[in-house]
Amino acid sequence: MKAKFASSCVACGEKISQGKEIAKNEQGKWVHKHCAPESEELL
Ligand SMILES: [Zn+2]
C-alpha cells in the first residue's frame, strides 16, 4: 500500500515519504516495501 503520511522505516532507518510503497514487517511495523522480509503484495 502507499504511505498516507511520512514515517520512518524500522528496517533501514531511513525516512518513508508520503505516497511511497510500504509494507508491514513481521512485528507489525511499517517498513519500505523493499525492506519487508516478505511482500504479500506480490501475490
Ligand atoms: Zn527501509
Mean pLDDT, rounded, for 20-41: 85
**Cα(4) to centroid of ligand 1, in Å?**
16
Three cell numbers written together for 27: 512485528
Per-residue pLDDT of 23-32, as tens digits, reads: 998 889 999 9
**Cα(10) to centroid of ligand 1, in Å?**
7
Mean pLDDT, rounded, for 23-42: 82
Beta bridge partners of 24: 30
- Is 9 in contact with 16 (CB distance < 8 Å)? yes
Give me the pLDDT at residue 26, please.
85
Query: Identity (one letter) of the amino acid at 5?
Result: F
**Cα(9) to centroid of ligand 1, in Å?**
5
Torsion of the alpha carbons at 7, 20, 2 and 13, rounded to the nearest 10: -40
**Cα(8) to centroid of ligand 1, in Å?**
8
When pLDDT is cut at 50, 70 and 90, the band that residue 37 belongs to is confident
Q: Residue 43: is its pLDDT beyond 60? A: no
**Cα(19) to centroid of ligand 1, in Å?**
14
